[in-house]
């Protein structure tokens, strides 16, 4: 990449196949979305520079295959990981239950210094929801993770998710910012509760 940057953080996306990891990256990095996305084979790497406090931060984003047959090869890619985004599908209970496996894998390979963001994807499919926001928030609270729900279809919270990770990593390295307002909303004990602050367009389609 020709652009210069001040900080470089490796971020890995984990979760079962079909939860929307690749679609999230495509939407965030390239502003593209397709309903028909081919499953990731192994790992795919891409980058994007974001700005925090006038500092350029290179997010080195790794998309991983969620299919069980690829799991054994993924552990080697956890090395040097600074943040992990755990993604589940709010319409798929199994994808949520699998998060314990992904969480353990990262902690075993990368230690306790990794920042975690828990994402419930496909928030546009509210009528098909099987995993409540309350359940997602509780898992985030127990494991001291950031939490939000997203939709690739409506571009809801996609950019915000990666910006939140960039800011969290940057703050952990340089120290907290001085708040402009003494009251900082939606933050408690390291958990960022990013609530639904806009109407999410409903869809009958999923992002893969």
Q: Check which CATH number belongs to the domain holding 158 and give it.
A: 3.40.50.300
Residue 19: inside a domain? yes
Half-sphere exposure of 79 (CA within 13 A, CB side): 3
Residue 158: inside a domain? yes
Q: What is the pLDDT of residues 64-77, one digit of tens each?
A: 765 554 555 666 67
Q: Is 136 helix (H, G, I), strand (E, B) or coil?
A: helix
Q: What percent of the chain has pLDDT over 90?
A: 58
Rg (CA), the chain: 16
Residue 128: inside a domain? yes
Residue 206: inside a domain? no
The confidence band for 80, taking pLDDT boundaries of 50, 70 and 90, is confident
Q: Which domain holds residue 148?
A: 7-176+186-194
Residue 203: inside a domain? no
Predicted local confidence at residue 64, as pLDDT: 78
Predicted local confidence at residue 179, as pLDDT: 55
Write down the pTM of the prediction: 0.81
pLDDT of residue 184 exceeding 60: no
Q: Sheet containing 43-52: which strands, arranged edge to edge?
A: 43-52, 55-64, 7-14, 83-89, 115-121, 146-149, 191-194, 187-188
pLDDT of residue 88 exceeding 90: yes
For residue 65, give both structure tokens: 């295959």
Q: What is the pLDDT of residues 20-66, one digit of tens each?
A: 999 999 999 999 876 656 555 457 889 999 999 999 999 999 987 65
For residue 129, give both structure tokens: 């929801």
Predicted local confidence at residue 188, as pLDDT: 35
For residue 156, give both structure tokens: 């809801």
The confidence band for 146, taking pLDDT boundaries of 50, 70 and 90, is very high
Q: Is-contact 19 89, C-beta < 8 A?
A: yes
pLDDT of residue 186 exceeding 90: no
For residue 138, give both structure tokens: 């509780």
Domain total of the chain: 1
Residue with tokens 């099987």: 130
Angle at 41 between CA 164 and CA 38, to 5 degrees: 80
Q: What is the overall mean pLDDT for the chain?
A: 82
Q: Is 44 helix (H, G, I), strand (E, B) or coil?
A: strand
pLDDT of residue 181 exceeding 50: no
For residue 40, give both structure tokens: 């990731």
Average pLDDT over residues 102-118: 88
Average pLDDT over residues 104-115: 85
Predicted local confidence at residue 77, as pLDDT: 74
Residue 112: inside a domain? yes
Residue 202: inside a domain? no
Residue 108: inside a domain? yes
């Amino acid at each position: 990449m020709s652009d210069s940057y001040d900080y470089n953080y490796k971020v890995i996306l984990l979760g079962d196949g079909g939860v929307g990891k690749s679609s999230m990256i495509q939407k965030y990095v390239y502003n593209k979305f397709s309903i028909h996305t081919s499953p990731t084979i192994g790992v795919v790497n891409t980058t994007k520079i974001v700005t925090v406090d006038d500092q350029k931060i290179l997010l080195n984003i790794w998309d991983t295959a969620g299919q069980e047959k690829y799991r054994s090869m993924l552990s080697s890619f956890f090395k040097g990981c600074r943040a992990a985004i755990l993604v589940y599908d709010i319409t798929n209970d199994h994808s949520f239950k699998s998060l314990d496996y992904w969480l353990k894998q990262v902690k075993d390979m990368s230690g306790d210094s990794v920042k975690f963001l828990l994402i419930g994807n496909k928030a546009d499919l509210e009528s098909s929801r099987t995993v409540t926001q309350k359940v997602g928030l509780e898992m985030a609270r127990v494991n001291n993770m950031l939490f939000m729900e997203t939709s690739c279809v409506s571009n809801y919270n996609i950019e915000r998710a990666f910006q939140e990770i960039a800011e969290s990593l940057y703050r952990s390295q340089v120290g907290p910012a001085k708040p402009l307002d003494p009251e900082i909303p939606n933050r408690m004990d390291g958990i960022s509760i990013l609530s639904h602050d806009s109407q999410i367009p409903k869809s009958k389609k999923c992002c893969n």
